[in-house]
Amino acid sequence: MSKQVSIKDVALHAGTSIATVSRILNDVGYPISETLRSRVETAIRELGYRPNRMAQNLRSKQTQSIGLVVRDISDSYFGAIAQGVTEEASTRGLMSLVCSSKRNPKLEIEYMRLLAQYQVAGVIIAGAGWVDEDFRARLKRTVQDLNKQGVRVISCAPQEVAMPCATVDNSAIGREACRLLSELGHTTFGVLSGDDINYSNLLRVEGFAEAAGAAGAAWFKSTGAFSWQHGYTAVRELLTDHPDITAFFATNDNIAVGALRGLEEMGKRVPDQISVLGVGDIAMAEYTSPALSTFRLPFYDFGATAVKMIFDGHLREDTLVPFSGNYIRRESVGVRKK
């Protein structure tokens, strides 16, 4: 509980001035004589001095940290993004201030503003836009305010508000999913959708719907949460109402894993009787049984890229770094059997 040792103490102890100590620490300004330097360095070591970042930040007006607002840090999806952000940040010598919004839109905005008070260099939001007029307006205002203050804001998921994003083309994934299943002979689909209010989800479903329409295929949707639970129950409901469904498209892997489990309990063989296709390629997708076929989304890169965008020069509100989702073929998708 003893007090913080400051640069002043070091200067006193080394018998020199504050300025000199600072110059030595930051290796800036004119060269320092070897004797003085070593005297100061031993003083630093003896006193165990560590610079106070708050003071540094205050003085230099540029902070060594960035902010991250994540929707649910315990979810693999966001965890992987968070990893990308924190690691990329740390290679740049930056700290990450992270807040978990518990899937509360108001809180997400609140946190963005709070982070700005901490003088972060930029704020990254990991969580797709909420399809909601009020949210959109708030987000827009918040982004404008932060930008005006010199704080950049990047999203790791599509937003309905014009702002820089590092994410995938979600509707392309939906289209691709439908195309892929259609080619295997499937004509009746179950779509296991996450929240309708989630913009990423909406885009995936729209993409799928578009392709299904073009192919003249039938599809039925169940909307719920992005959870195992939802996949587990939805698959049963959908199959009861529409027994001719032969393939499921889950808009996220969590849902798909639940679906796999649900189908197994119903005695349906995957992929012989029913195919299941996910999106995300979370770490465990490889170890489900059967192993999940899915689209790999480079979450880590979303996060890492967002950090890079904060620092790499010119950024307009329509700057968009689109990734592509690669289809990972495993075992849960197969040809439709007559």
Site residues for a second copy, window 259-278 (CB under 8 A)?
260-261, 264
Distance of CA 31 to the CA centre of its chain: 45
How many residues in the shown chain lie near a second copy by CB under 8 A? 61
Nearest to 327 by CA among 288, 300, 292, 283: 292
Asked if 317 touches a second copy (CB under 8 A), the answer is no
Which region, left, alpha or beta, applies to residue 93 given φ > 0 means left and ψ of -120 to 50 means alpha?
left
Asked if 228 touches a second copy (CB under 8 A), the answer is yes
Cis amide bond preceding 243, omega within 30:
no
Q: Which stretch binds DNA (CB under 7 A): 24-32, 76-84, 174-182, 305-313?
A: 24-32
Nearest to 130 by CA among 120, 138, 122: 138
Asked if 149 touches DNA (CB under 7 A), the answer is no
- Please tell me what DSSP assigns to residue 289: S
Question: Which 3 state secondary structure label does DSSP give 336?
Answer: coil
| CA–CA–CA angle 69, 304, 114 (5° rounding) | 20
The answer to whether the CB of 22 falls within 8 A of the CB of 59 is: no
- Name which position in 1, 13, 33, 108 contacts DNA (CB under 7 A): 33
Question: Which C-beta is closer to a second copy: that of 76 or that of 188?
Answer: 76
Site residues for DNA, window 39-78 (CB under 7 A)?
49-52, 55-56, 58-61
Q: How far is the CB of 120 from DNA (least distance, A)?
A: 15
Asked if 8 touches DNA (CB under 7 A), the answer is yes
- Name which position in 6, 16, 22, 57 contacts a second copy (CB under 8 A): 57
C-alpha separations of 127 from 98, 168, 199, 275, 303 in Å: 13, 13, 9, 28, 11
Q: How far is the CB of 14 from DNA (least distance, A)?
A: 8
Q: How far is the CB of 161 from a second copy (least distance, A)?
A: 19
Site map for a second copy, 275-314, x if CB under 8 A? --------xx-xxxx-x--------x--------------
Distance of CA 40 to the CA centre of its chain: 44
Question: Which C-beta is closer to DNA: that of 37 or that of 136?
Answer: 37
Q: How far is the CB of 100 from DNA (least distance, A)?
A: 26
Question: Which C-beta is closer to a second copy: that of 26 or that of 90?
Answer: 90
Partner interacting with residue 23 (select from a second copy, DNA, none; CB below 5-8 Å by kind) = DNA
Partner interacting with residue 48 (select from DNA, a second copy, none; CB below 5-8 Å by kind) = a second copy
Residue given tokens 């930051």 in the structure block: 26
| CA–CA–CA angle 41, 47, 49 (5° rounding) | 75
CA distance 96 to 17: 33
Question: Which C-beta is closer to a second copy: that of 79 or that of 185?
Answer: 79
CA distance 217 to 81: 35
Residue given tokens 């679906």 in the structure block: 259
CA distance 286 to 328: 10
Q: Which residues bind a second copy (CB under 8 A)?
A: 1-4, 48, 50-55, 57-58, 61, 63, 65, 72-76, 79-80, 82-83, 86-87, 90, 95-100, 102, 113-119, 145, 148-150, 228, 232, 257-258, 260-261, 264, 283-284, 286-289, 291, 300
Residues that bind DNA (CB under 7 A): 3-4, 6-8, 15-20, 22-23, 25-26, 28-33, 36, 49-52, 55-56, 58-61
